[in-house]
């Protein structure tokens, strides 16, 4: 298509009337940067880069950005690299008890809005990497609704100690074992030295690879792009394809809200079940739906679809398949193909075709991803529960492990932070048959939603993984697949939620098959305890967490920072 025809098809929002004040000052700045008047007439594309030297998830992204920018130039566009925060769970959890992690997602979203919307750029290529970057970028795409495509920036290589495979999940679990004296420090050090062999996100089916799968299932990547090795040439080839495609998307005016439909969200939810993905996908997808100004209830969608969504692949830590085998077997594309009639093929994608059109005639190259007719399991990998302890929801990650205890009743042992819980474990305060309650970690109570994972792994390290259940309003790493854990309980304990009313010794029942989590307490006692709670005050946090505390919405809205519509 000739450039004049393209201009007739879509006017660029980044261009201003010649002679206007905006045109003049923008021209003065950009001419001084070496841009020509011809450049200024091209589609102006933001390349959203979370490059950082702080974490292995991001330290390769400058090279990816360079490839994307060149592809945009070659396709007739004008790229502008835009930097945002680059949070890594394993690095940024060190400060403030891990409370920066979830709020960093929304910082990314708002950072993108300021830079892209403020400059009125025409489109975006988002370099998706670690756990919070993909959801933050998806939220920005949904909010701004300008042509956007995702370039998946790959997973890291893992290593070996002799013949034994070791990756970041083993290190994380090993740290919990070491905390309980189950393995020596030298062993943990050796694991940490061998676990990671290249740049990229965690190699298991944690939140990062789950969200990369979600990006493709939503239609926001080109087909066959997730997952991908960060150390291989395929990632750069994909990035170049994305850079080329975004220019045509601008001329076509193909925008995220045309793609992020109910059908797309249903495909994303089905794909999470199929790969036994991270429970963090639920709040992130709800946040994207909220930012897209839709009425889609993602939590309700998970509940509605869970009993009819089979598990098709079991990537570590869910099973023995490696992420490389999933990649080589077709990845997200194979999942969407093999779900068969469960896939909403009418959903639009960034390719400018429906999902059905992109899948037509393509077959997975291996049988790593099973079919819906012959799945690994026909039981849900994730179960949403309710009850008087979680009136809104609680989430249990089961994966393929239906051989664990599915109904337990035990006395509560309550803790208000992970450190106290681990010290309580060491001191023998938690015994087989107990239900460990870890609370005060919700989005307001944190503020910022604290991480409960290390407590789960410490329980495992203490040899109590099969005998001590956990109920928490905190979040869990996507790599956690141990024990019986009810996570992200809502309402959270902060502000009078039922979890905050539980006392040591109260009997808690978790019944997976009945989809219930309850405390043996009648309504009158619950109200009496709520009335006796001290008035909730400000946490005393300053800076970004203070802003987050005052503005964050509940998990039912994805913990976004935008108020409900009137």
The set of catalytic residues is 477
| 3 state DSSP class of 209 | helix
Among the residues of 199-253, which ranges form H helices? 207-217, 233-252
Can you tell me the distance from the alpha carbon of 56 to that of 231, in angstroms, rounded to the nearest whole number? 12
Considering just the CA atoms, what is the radius of gyration of the chain in Å? 24
Burial class of residue 424 (count of CB atoms within 10 Å of its CB; 0-12, 13-18, 19+): middle
Strand 123-128 vs strand 148-152: parallel, antiparallel, or unpaired? parallel
Q: What is the 3-state secondary structure (H, E, C) of 82-123?
A: EECCCCCHHHHCCCHHHCCHHHHHHHHHHHHHHHHHHCCCCE
DSSP assignment letter at 354: B
Two tokens at 207? 């939140």
DSSP assignment string, 366-416: SSSS--SSS-SBSS-SEEEEEETTEEEEEEEE-TT-TTS-SEEEEEEEEES
Q: Which two tokens stand for residue 250?
A: 């601008």
How far is it, in rounded angstroms, from Cα 34 to Cα 300? 52
Do 557 and 286 form a contact (C-beta atoms < 8 A)?
yes
Return d(Cα 155, Cα 462) in angstroms, integer. Answer: 31
């Amino acid at each position: 298509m000739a450039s004049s025809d393209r201009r007739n098809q879509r006017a660029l929002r980044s261009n201003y009337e010649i002679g206007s004040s905006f045109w003049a000052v923008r021209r003065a700045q950009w001419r001084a940067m070496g841009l020509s008047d011809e450049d200024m007439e091209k589609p102006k594309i933001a390349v959203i880069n979370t490059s950082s030297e702080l974490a292995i998830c991001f330290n390769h992204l400058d090279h990816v950005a360079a490839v994307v920018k060149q592809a945009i130039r070659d396709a007739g566009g004008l790229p502008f690299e835009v930097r945002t925060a680059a949070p890594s769970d394993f690095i940024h959890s060190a400060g403030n008890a891990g409370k920066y992690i979830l709020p960093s997602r929304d910082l990314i979203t708002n950072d993108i809005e300021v830079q892209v919307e403020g400059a009125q750029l025409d489109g975006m290529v988002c370099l998706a990497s670690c756990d919070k970057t993909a959801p933050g970028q998806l939220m920005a795409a949904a909010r701004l609704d300008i042509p956007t495509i995702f370039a998946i920036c790959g997973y890291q290589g893992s290593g070996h100690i002799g013949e034994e495979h070791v990756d970041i999940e083993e290190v994380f679990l090993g740290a919990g074992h070491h905390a309980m004296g189950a393995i020596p420090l030298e062993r943990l050090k050796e694991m940490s030295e061998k676990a990671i062999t290249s740049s990229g996100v965690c190699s298991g089916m944690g939140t990062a690879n789950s969200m990369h799968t979600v990006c493709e299932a939503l239609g926001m990547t080109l087909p066959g792009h997730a997952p991908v090795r960060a150390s291989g040439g395929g990632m750069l080839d994909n990035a170049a394809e994305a850079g080329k495609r975004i220019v045509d998307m601008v001329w076509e005016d193909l925008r995220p809200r045309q793609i992020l439909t109910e059908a797309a969200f249903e495909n994303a939810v089905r794909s999470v079940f199929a790969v036994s993905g991270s429970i963090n996908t639920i709040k992130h997808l709800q946040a994207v739906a909220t930012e897209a100004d839709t009425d889609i209830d993602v939590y309700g969608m998970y509940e509605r679809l869970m009993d009819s969504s089979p598990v098709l692949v079991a990537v570590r830590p869910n099973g023995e398949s490696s992420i490389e085998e999933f990649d080589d077997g077709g990845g997200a594309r194979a999942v969407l193909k093999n779900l068969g009639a469960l896939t909403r093929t009418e959903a639009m994608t960034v390719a400018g075709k429906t999902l059905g059109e992109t899948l037509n005639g393509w077959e997975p190259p291996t049988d790593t991803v099973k079919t819906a007719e012959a799945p690994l399991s026909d039981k849900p990998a994730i179960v949403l529960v309710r009850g008087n302890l979680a009136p809104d929801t609680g989430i249990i990650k089961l994966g393929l492990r239906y051989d664990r205890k599915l109904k337990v009743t035990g006395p509560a042992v309550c803790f208000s932070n992970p450190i106290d819980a681990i010290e309580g474990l060491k001191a023998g305060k938690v015994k087989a048959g107990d239900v460990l309650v870890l609370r005060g970690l919700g989005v307001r109570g944190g503020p910022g939603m604290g991480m409960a994972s290390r407590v789960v792994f410490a329980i495992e390290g203490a040899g109590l993984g099969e005998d001590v259940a956990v109920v928490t309003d905190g979040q869990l790493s996507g790599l956690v697949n141990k024990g019986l854990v009810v996570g992200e309980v809502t309402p959270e304990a902060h502000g009078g939620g039922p979890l905050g009313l539980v006392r040591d010794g109260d009997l808690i029942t978790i019944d997976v098959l009945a989809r219930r989590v309850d405390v043996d307490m009648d309504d009158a006692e619950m109200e009496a305890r709520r009335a006796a709670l001290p008035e909730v005050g400000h946490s005393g946090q300053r800076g970004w967490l203070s802003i987050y505390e005052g503005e964050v919405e509940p998990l039912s809205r994805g913990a976004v920072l935008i108020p409900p519509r009137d």
